[in-house]
Structure 1
Amino acid sequence: MTSHATTAATAPLDLTPRPGAAPTRQMLRAQSVMELRLLSRNGEQLLLTLVIPVLLLVMGTRSTDIVDLGEGRAIDIITPGVLALAVLSASFTSLAIATGFERRYGVIKRLGASPLPRWGLLLGKITAVLVVEAVQIVLLCGVGLALGWEPSGGVGAALWLLVLVALGTAAFGALGLLIAGTLRAEATLAVANLVYVLLLVGGGLIVPLSRYPDSAQKILELLPSGALGEGLRAAFDGGGPGLLPVVVLAVWALVAGLLTSRTFRWE
């Protein structure tokens, strides 16, 4: 017994290198966690994705004399629009700015040369965006309900929320990566913020399309912002959003995704 223990204790350690990458699932999980950590440390991104939507939700219900929202309770009209705005802020503006500067500083290039597949890098970013959106939806729905929001539609409305948010995330995310992968970081910052402001003010997110002139309605309902905002309002109003918002968001996601796959530059 003693001899066997002594032999085991004095046996040389096996220090033979074992090169190779970690399993793909483990790399994807690590990449997603890193993306979330980077986002949580960026005060500007947190302001954009969480603070501004909450402030708009609270202030919007108290300033209906400034913006004509049409018939109905202001909180029931604004809450779905703010949910759509949250999707825009997380999957487009925040994603575009972060990716643009990562590309400028060479982070994207180095990660693209790592064992993590390039599609895995993008999937990690998308996973982080989906986690952020889940937090946004829970927070904004909670604030909306506390302010008196009374959504209709029950389980059907919740399912439509998931479908529309997924399509909206795909559309806005593809557009954000398209900008970040082709423009310089400073130009990406300017364009992403400009688009955010323009769609917030006149993109059919907060204000229903029925309050716009007829000519503007026909244009806005074909934009991803108008389709998402109007689709969520219709879903929580007790009826389904119809086919048009779903088709519009799917087409934008498909076209922007194809363009991104062909034009995205890793450095």
Structure 2
Amino acid sequence: MKFIGIIPARYASTRFPGKPLAILGGKTVIQRVYEQVVNVLGEAYVATDDERIYRAVEQFGGRAVMTRADHKSGTDRIEEAAQKIKTDADVIINIQGDEPFIQKSQLETVKQLFDDPQTQIATLGKPFENMEAVENPNSPKIICDVNGYAMYFSRSVIPYIRGKERNEWIKQFQFIKHIGLYAYRREVLSEITKLPQSPLELAESLEQLRWLQNGYRIKVGLTDVETVGIDTPEDLQRAEQFILAASV
């Protein structure tokens, strides 16, 4: 089975314009993401709508593909890129362009989920460590069935633990945080990008709910690695400190 990685990267960002080209430990953020991915998968592309990012990727020896600027989601951008490069990969892995510390173990976990022929889409989850983190609406929660397939994703705290004080809930149930790494069988990626937005997706602002509501199955792999995503300049500073600490 052949896997490739495609990394969607936009220059425009409300909280951090130009984020992919920000310097982190002497390299751009997008270069760090690309190198992490290509070292595991062997083949990767950056899908971007900005020539500055495209040129930067070419300059460090990476592969990039220009895509339209009007995509509503990274998944749509991935599909256009896959068409343009005419990939023959069986599975395409979507790695966010602001995850410079994506780990080999995480990518390997996602790959292994496709050993199950029923897996159409795969993603990752990580157990929450405290209720404060569970209650953060910016950290979607995953509910899975007994076979490891997602039943629902929500920004709300789910499930509700009846008969217990809220601060005790995390002792009663393993709440799972969604990590936004996706992998799709090639034909499934093509299908889901043709779907209209669904009511649940619009309600929670989570595109994966469109896929679930249309009957697609999402297999969830578990990781114990906490990623360090970069959404703001402050996150970049923390990531810089992380690199310095790791090099000591």
**How does the TM-score come out when normalised to structure 2?**
0.26
**How does the TM-score come out when normalised to structure 1?**
0.25
Structure holding more helix per residue: 1
If asked which structure has higher relative contact order (CA below 8 Å, sep 6+), I would say 1
Structure holding more strand per residue: 2
Q: Mark the structure with the bigger radius of gyration.
A: 1
